[in-house]
């Protein structure tokens, strides 16, 4: 891939955007992100970190927008990025966005596809599409409100303003705010910790939480019930229970 680098450190995958200077999200970048996230479905990968430096991703490639509009066309698709973020969101393993610099527009939407977001103290996030006469097109209006709440999502989306790390932490977007040189290191360390846990149980927990958030209580309870029975039949459940009874640390295999 030309603009996205996928590497694996043990059971942790690192997806790194590499399109200088600001990791603008062209259709080519989005297609490569989709390819990388599909590769992360591999069972040998048990946690994923997504990052970009010095900027996570400073939004869409606006020059491409202008080229389309100058051609007389009124059609511009965000499908590639929408699909990439959907695959990321649906990965049945913990995912962490390590956010440096700007995560704006599509970059913010990409980060919202992760379970957790770790921000550098000088990082900024936002959905500035409204300032271009547009709205987010890759899930921003939907995922942002689920993370920061309906009213705060309206504020950020309507104004297009940039949100600093401390405010992002206060409103629930950021899970951790760290010095710039510690963001990726901490994300990788935490991802390794998740990768050492009971993978099937983490996947079941992720499904149950999502079902309860997006559906009714009864629907969520049903998914939870099914997940409990699925995990009870795993090797990791045998190991976890035996380790607890034996008063030793469990060594989970992810199966």
Please give the positions annotated as active site: 60, 106, 109, 129
Tokens 């079941």, located at residue:
204
Rounded-to-5 percentages of helix, strand, coil across the chain:
50, 15, 30
Closest of 97, 77, 71 to residue 188, by C-alpha: 97
Those residues whose C-beta lies under 8 Å from the C-beta of residue 226, and which sit 6 or more positions away, are none
Closest of 91, 29, 96 to residue 57, by C-alpha: 29
Q: How far apart are the two ends of the chain, measured CA to CA in Å?
A: 31
Paired sense of beta strands 102-104 and 47-52, if any: unpaired
- Are 109 and 140 in contact by the 8 Å Cβ rule? The answer is yes
């Amino acid at each position: 891939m030309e603009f996205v680098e996928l590497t694996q450190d043990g059971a942790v995958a690192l997806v790194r955007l590499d399109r200088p200077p600001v990791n603008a999200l062209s259709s080519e970048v989005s297609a490569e992100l989709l390819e990388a996230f599909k590769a992360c479905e591999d069972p040998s990968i048990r946690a994923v970190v997504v990052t970009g430096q010095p900027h996570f991703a400073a939004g869409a490639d606006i020059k491409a927008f202008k080229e389309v509009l100058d051609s007389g066309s009124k059609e511009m698709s965000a499908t590639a990025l929408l699909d990439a973020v959907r695959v990321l969101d649906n990965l049945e393993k913990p995912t962490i966005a390590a956010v440096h610099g700007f995560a704006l527009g599509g970059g913010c939407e990409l980060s919202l596809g992760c379970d957790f977001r770790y921000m550098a103290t000088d990082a900024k996030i936002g959905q500035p599409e409204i300032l271009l006469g547009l709205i987010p097109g890759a899930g921003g209006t939907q995922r942002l409100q689920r993370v920061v709440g309906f009213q705060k999502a309206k504020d950020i989306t309507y104004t297009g303003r940039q949100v600093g790390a401390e405010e992002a932490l206060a409103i629930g977007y950021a899970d951790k705010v760290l010095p710039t040189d510690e963001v990726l290191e901490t994300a990788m360390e935490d991802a390794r910790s998740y990768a050492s846990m009971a993978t099937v149980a983490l996947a079941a927990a992720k499904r149950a939480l999502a079902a309860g958030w997006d559906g009714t209580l009864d629907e969520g309870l049903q998914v939870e019930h099914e997940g409990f029975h699925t995990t009870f039949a795993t090797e990791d459940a045998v190991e976890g229970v035996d380790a607890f009874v034996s008063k030793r640390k469990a060594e989970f295999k992810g199966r």
